[in-house]
């Protein structure tokens, strides 16, 4: 299965914020983070069902080497990435995005 990825603007901002944070700590580390995210996104697009559900239909793929997860749902239109967040963030952050996404699909 190789579905297209739809990365929501909030998830894109998550990635940008983390990139900046890592790059400020060590030059080049932000680029390594982006590479790890890209690899994670590729795996999600190829094998979306191998990752566990963490909340309703929301799944999480952990990113190699960095304490981040890619939070996504599998929709008929493709794989919708709702968040890319640090794993120590409160679950309420990504749960709220999942709820907001479900409400948007109902409309």
Encode pLDDT of 34-66 as tens digits. Answer: 999 999 999 999 999 999 999 999 999 999 999
DSSP code string of 45-89: HH-GGGSPEEETTEEEEEPTTSSEEEEEEEETTEEEEEEEEETTS
pLDDT of res. 79: 97
- Domain harbouring 76, CATH code: 3.30.2310.20
How many domains does the chain fold into?
A: 1
Residue 73 domain boundaries: 5-106
Sign of the C-alpha dihedral computed for residues 99, 77, 16 and 9 taken in this order: negative
Per-residue pLDDT band for 91 (boundaries 50, 70, 90) equals: confident
């Amino acid at each position: 299965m190789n579905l297209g990825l739809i990365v929501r603007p909030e998830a894109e901002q998550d990635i940008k914020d983390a990139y900046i944070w890592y790059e400020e700590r060590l030059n080049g580390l932000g680029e390594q983070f982006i590479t790890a995210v890209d690899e994670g996104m590729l795996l999600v697009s190829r094998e979306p069902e191998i990752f566990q559900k963490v909340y309703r239909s929301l799944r999480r793929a952990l990113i190699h080497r960095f304490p981040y997860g890619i939070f996504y749902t599998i929709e008929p239109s493709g794989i919708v990435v709702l968040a890319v967040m640090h794993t120590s963030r409160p679950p309420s952050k990504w749960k709220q995005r999942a709820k907001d996404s479900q409400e948007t699909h109902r409309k």
